[in-house]
């Protein structure tokens, strides 16, 4: 399968079962999505977050415990 280069920094490739995956130039896997368009958009968002830093003040935090008695 053919890899497509986007923004001169990552590749997108169709994988098994019709999924799309992105890889950096060194071959490290980044994002997997259902469509090529969503894979490209998700990869751009992810790489921008890595470059600029994640805004912790606006991130939703979840806790995995349940309080109270059952």
Residue-level pLDDT at 34: 96
1-10, 16-25, 38-47: the lowest-pLDDT one? 1-10
- pLDDT, greater one: 61 or 42: 42
- Alpha carbon distance 64, 46 (integer Å): 24
**Residue 49: φ, ψ to 5°:** -65, -40
**pLDDT over 90 percentage in the chain:** 51
- Alpha carbon distance 38, 46 (integer Å): 12
Would the pTM count as exceeding 0.75? no
- Alpha carbon distance 12, 6 (integer Å): 8
11: how many CB neighbours lie within 10 A of its CB?
Answer: 17
Residue 60 has pLDDT above 90, yes or no: no
- Alpha carbon distance 28, 24 (integer Å): 5
């Amino acid at each position: 399968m053919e890899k497509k280069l986007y923004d001169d920094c990552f590749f997108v490739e169709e994988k098994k079962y019709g999924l799309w995956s992105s890889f950096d130039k060194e071959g490290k896997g980044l994002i997997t999505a259902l469509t090529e368009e969503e894979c490209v958009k998700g990869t751009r968002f992810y790489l921008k977050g890595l470059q600029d830093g994640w805004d912790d003040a606006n991130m939703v935090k979840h806790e995995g415990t349940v309080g109270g008695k059952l």
